């Protein structure tokens, strides 16, 4: 499930950036470290100076009012902002297991294989079957045999808590599923390439409460094996799924900054910053 050391080595430049493993080398799993990250759209700065440690095999939630740079920030964690339009400059460092994912020798496609992403709106490939959606990413990086495909489809749909619902319609179109099923299909597709980290940008915002509860339960199960970063505008959701929570806020200059990050219970019950206290109490945003 986790990448081998040589896969990691292939991702990175020869001389890794030296940094402390945040919670001790005895902990398995993959961790990330963000150092002084700033982001611009053209001349306009959207995010400034974020420093953050993402713990391995845990869920980290990013909360904050609309426009504070949550999506901009999370897209920088796997260089997704480089896909498509929107001229963008990034400064600072993003490390996966101590290795800079922005190092010149690093292939951004490989970065996104190690650090997968699930978006706000479920986006299965509509012309592909349920099964082919699961292995779509895998087919880009390898040439799996029929039995490898079958094994991956079942294992990933099972991990995404979708197998029982779709096992009799694996050849139906991915678009024929309900919204919540489509989002779990997208999670299965992300898992099929064996990522180290899973990024989710408001994965439930297009879903009804029942589908949302299923995804939340799934996140709680997945964080036993994966490192997860989830953007959510829903503070209850952060409290239900996240071990740590980071609060972002844009000041009057409209530049988003990390105000504070803490274990989730502590951030909501005893925030250190009065802006966090006001936000979690619902006084703005
Ligand atoms: N493609 C873009 N071009 C220019 N500005 C953008 C673009 N995407 C986002 N922004 C701006 O960056 C800021 C942060 O946006 P975003 O990261 O989407 O915030 P959030 O996800 O917290 O709502 C906003 O002011 C937004 O208008
Ligand atoms: Mg957003």
Ligand 1 binding pocket mutation candidate from 64, 65, 67, 73 (most atoms within 8 A of CB): 67
Helix/strand/coil for 197:
strand
User: What are the structure tokens assigned to 80, written together?
Assistant: 């997704």
Q: How is domain 5-280 classified at the CATH fold level? A: Rossmann fold (3.40.50)
Domain spans in the chain, listed from the N-terminal domain onward: 5-280
Assess whether the C-beta atom of 69 lies below 6 angstroms from ligand 1: yes
pLDDT at 10: 43
**For 80-91, what is the mean pLDDT?**
83
Among the residue ranges 24-33, 150-159, 185-194, 245-254, the one predicted with the least confidence is: 24-33
**Distance from C-alpha of 30 to C-alpha of 99, rounded to nearest angstrom:** 11
> Cβ of 56: how many Cβ atoms within 10 Å?
20
Q: Which residues have a Cβ under 8 Å from the Cβ of 105 and sit 6 or more positions away?
A: 12, 13
Assess whether the C-beta atom of 70 lies below 6 angstroms from ligand 1: yes
Ligand 1 binding pocket mutation candidate from 44, 46, 63, 251 (most atoms within 8 A of CB): 46
User: What are the structure tokens assigned to 270, written together?
Assistant: 């005893």
Nearest CA to ligand 1 atom 8: 72
Assess whether the C-beta atom of 40 lies below 6 angstroms from ligand 1: no
**Distance from C-alpha of 29 to C-alpha of 34, rounded to nearest angstrom:** 17
**For 182-187, what is the mean pLDDT?**
97
Helix/strand/coil for 227:
strand
pLDDT at 153: 98
Q: Which ligand 1 atom is at minimum distance from the Cα of 201?
A: 21
**Distance from C-alpha of 236 to C-alpha of 241, rounded to nearest angstrom:** 9
Dist. CA 69 → ligand 2 center (Å)? 7
Q: Are 195 and 138 in contact (CB under 8 A)?
A: no
User: What are the structure tokens assigned to 77, written together?
Assistant: 């964690």
Radius of gyration of the chain (CA): 19
Q: Are 192 and 134 in contact (CB under 8 A)?
A: yes
Q: Which helix (H) or strand (E) holds 19?
A: none
Dist. CA 258 → ligand 2 center (Å)? 15
* Ligand lying closest to the C-alpha of residue 248: 1
* Ligand lying closest to the C-alpha of residue 48: 1
pLDDT at 2: 46
Length of the chain in residues, anyone? 285
Q: Which helix (H) or strand (E) holds 181?
A: helix 179-191
pLDDT in tens, 221-277: 999 999 999 999 999 999 999 999 999 999 999 999 999 999 999 999 999 999 999
Nearest CA to ligand 1 atom 27: 67
**Distance from C-alpha of 249 to C-alpha of 277, rounded to nearest angstrom:** 12
Q: Which ligand 1 atom is at minimum distance from the Cα of 64?
A: 22
Q: What is the pTM of this model?
A: 0.89
pLDDT in tens, 97-121: 999 999 999 999 999 999 999 999 9
Average pLDDT of the chain to the nearest whole number: 91
Helix/strand/coil for 150:
helix
**Distance from C-alpha of 74 to C-alpha of 85, rounded to nearest angstrom:** 17
Q: Are 17 and 100 in contact (CB under 8 A)?
A: yes
Helix/strand/coil for 51:
strand
**Distance from C-alpha of 142 to C-alpha of 130, rounded to nearest angstrom:** 19
């Amino acid at each position: 499930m986790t990448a081998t050391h040589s896969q990691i080595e292939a991702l990175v430049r020869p001389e890794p950036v030296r940094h402390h493993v945040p919670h001790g080398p005895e902990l398995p799993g993959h961790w990330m470290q963000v150092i002084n990250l700033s982001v611009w759209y053209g001349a306009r700065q959207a995010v400034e100076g974020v420093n953050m440690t993402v713990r391995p095999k845990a869920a980290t939630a990013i909360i904050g009012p609309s426009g504070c740079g949550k999506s901009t920030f999370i897209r920088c964690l796997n260089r997704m902002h480089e896909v498509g339009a929107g001229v963008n400059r990034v400064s600072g460092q993003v490390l996966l297991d101590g290795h800079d994912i922005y190092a010149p020798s690093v292939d951004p496609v490989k970065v996104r294989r190690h650090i997968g992403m699930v978006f706000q709106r479920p986006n299965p490939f509509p012309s592909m079957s349920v099964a082919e959606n699961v292995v779509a990413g895998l087919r880009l990086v390898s040439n799996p045999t029929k039995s490898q495909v079958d094994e991956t489809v079942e294992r990933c749909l099972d991990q995404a808590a979708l197998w029982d619902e779709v096992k009799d319609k694996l050849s139906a179109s991915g678009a024929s599923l309900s919204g919540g099923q489509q989002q779990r299909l997208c999670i299965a597709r992300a898992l099929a390439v064996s990522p180290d980290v899973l990024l989710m940008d408001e994965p439930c915002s297009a879903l009804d409460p029942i589908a949302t509860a299923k995804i939340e339960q799934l996140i709680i199960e997945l964080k036993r094996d994966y490192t997860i970063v989830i953007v959510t505008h829903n503070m209850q959701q952060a409290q239900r799924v996240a071990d740590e929570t980071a609060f972002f806020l844009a000041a009057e200059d409209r530049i988003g900054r990390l105000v504070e990050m803490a274990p989730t219970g502590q951030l909501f019950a005893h925030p250190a910053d009065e802006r966090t206290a006001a936000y979690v109490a619902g006084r703005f945003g």
